[in-house]
Structure 1
């Protein structure tokens, strides 16, 4: 096999993994965004479901938090769907929205800690998958 053929073969293998990580990130974004949508609907509809903590630094009205999570969840789902196009802009927007979702869920910790921690972990996996899943030429030293 020629050197160019070996390079193409190695790059093709890396590209398969890169598209696999992007697909993983897309699925996880759709999952995390759907969870955030449900979180937002629950906060808007039933204020009695959540425990409110006094003297918390990020103290917003629970309905406001519901709208924040609802809108952010819809954007995350749309970005997750856009990742399946393979466009670079979808990856950049995916990383940015996953970061915003992590921040929102960190500030949401006193209201629903277990759910917030799960969504923070999902967003961390998404960011890792989108940043790791780029095709790189392997070293031949």
Structure 2
């Protein structure tokens, strides 16, 4: 049984991980900056039927900060195009996407844009893995 044939041209196969890595670095840095801002700002004030309520999202913000750092580093690894880099990048981007969706009520427009870029990067990495016929 022969190995699967790689589809696409060589420059196209090297551009996918580089573009996906760049997207992941950008979204990771965006998450880091947003999380730092939320940590420094303190509580959100929510208006309810019976008055104002402070909501503290500091713990979620720390989780967001860690996820952003992980995604930015995974993006740098994905740019190298080494074997296993796509798997590592996908493994960091998926939990970061979940954390982004958990914080959606607090910054909806930014998080929708970041989530869309994360999904695009994951799709590029999956297409790269399928085109090269390897798990990395």
Report the TM-score, using the length of structure 2 for normalisation.
0.79
Gaps of 5+ in 1: 1-9, 55-59
Task: Note closer, same or farther for the CA distance 1:52–1:71 as it changes in structure 2 (3 Å cut).
Answer: farther
Greater fraction strand: 2
Determine whether 1:116 maps to 2:93.
Answer: no
- Are 2:48 and 1:70 aligned? no
- Aligned equivalents of 1:66 and 1:21: distance in 2? 31
Greater C-alpha radius of gyration: 1
* Per-residue Cα deviation, 1:38-64 (whole angstroms, up to 9, x for no partner): 11101110025x56588xxxxx84111
SS of aligned partner of 1:129: helix
> Is 1:45 the equivalent of 2:40?
yes
Partner Cα separation in structure 2 for residue 81 and residue 126 of structure 1: 13
RMSD of aligned alpha carbons: 2.4
Aligned residues: 122
User: Which runs of no fewer than 5 residues in structure 2 stay unpaired?
Assistant: 49-54
